[in-house]
Structures are given as C-alpha cells and as structure tokens.
Amino acid sequence: MTSTQNWKSLFTDWPVDFPRSGVVISTLNEAMPFRKFWLKDDLLLLERTIPDATGARFLLLSFDVINSVKFIIPLKESTIDEAGFVAGGAETLMQTV
C-alpha cells in the first residue's frame, strides 16, 4: 500500500468518536490546522481553523502531498485501536509471551 493510499484510508476510516480536527503537514513542510474535512475521490477538503495569510478558509489537496498528521487533543487507546493501530516494540513482545 502506498503512502497516498494510507492517508486516504486514515481520513476515510476516521474514528467516529474522535473530532475531525488536527494539523496536516505537507511534503513542503507547510502546517495546515483544520477543524473539519471532507473527501471526494483522491481529494481532501480541509476547513482551516483560521484563515491563512491570503484569507483562505478552505484548502483542497491530494493525499500524495501529505507528509504527516498531528492530533491536537489526546488520543484514547480505544480510538487508536479503532483506527487500526497496534502496539509495537517491547509491549507487543510481552503480550505474545
């Protein structure tokens, strides 16, 4: 699975109990805080928390320009599990013993 597919999957399967907000960091290292988002095919429409320097409130981007996503509020373990993440490292080894 490519990075683009992973990002699309994350936004498509966003956990129900988690606010649809955060910060998208682009491959050009631009931070884009958002408070809502919508999907259409391979495009992501973000509603910014405040307008950018040009006054834009909405941003339309493709998944291939996403480098990382930051979450502003703390994540609960149940939300992390619902998103499909599993523990790694020593914790995983302890669970398998």
The C-alpha atoms of residue 60 and residue 84 are separated, in whole angstroms, by 26
- How many domains in the chain? 1
Which CATH number is 46's domain given?
Answer: 2.30.30
Is the pLDDT score of 49 beyond 90?
yes
Specify the pTM: 0.82
Mean pLDDT, the chain, as a whole number?
89
DSSP type of residue 82: H
The C-alpha atoms of residue 37 and residue 58 are separated, in whole angstroms, by 9
Candidate from 28-32, 67-71, 76-80 with smallest mean pLDDT: 76-80
Note down the domain range covering 79.
3-96
